[in-house]
Amino acid sequence: MAAQVDTPPKPADPKKAAPSAEDEARLAARHQALFAYVLSRTFILITLLTALGLVGYAAAIKLPALLDLLVAKYLA
């Protein structure tokens, strides 16, 4: 079994340095813009689905009466 040797920590790589405040602000702005975009698209989708559901509900209520009227008018 080989003996473990303590190796000194490697010096910090300048390419992997902590992001600057400007980079953090840019990233935060990007995340905020993405969140606003997703939120707006979700709101639009929910609104359209609600409208479609209301139209479908109204059609389900009125359709039998309309079919009865058409059958009575054209087939009687």
What is the pLDDT at residue 3? 64
| Dihedral sign, Cα of residue 34, residue 39, residue 42, residue 48 | negative
Containing domain of residue 66, as a range? 33-76
Say if CB 19 and CB 27 are below 8 A apart: yes
Res 59: pLDDT: 87
Mean pLDDT within 19-39: 94
Question: In the predicted model, what is the mean pLDDT of residues 1-7?
Answer: 67
Total structural domains within the chain: 1
Q: Tokens standing for 61?
A: 């209520």
The whole-number average pLDDT for the span 16-37 is 91
In a domain, 28, yes or no: no
Q: How far apart are CA 47 and CA 36, in angstroms?
A: 16
pTM, 2 dp: 0.55
Average pLDDT over residues 45-66: 92
Quick check: is 53 in a domain? yes
The pLDDT value recorded for residue 14 is 65
Query: Positive or negative, the Cα torsion across 34, 40, 46, 51?
Result: negative
24 part of a folded domain: no
- Is 5 part of any domain? no
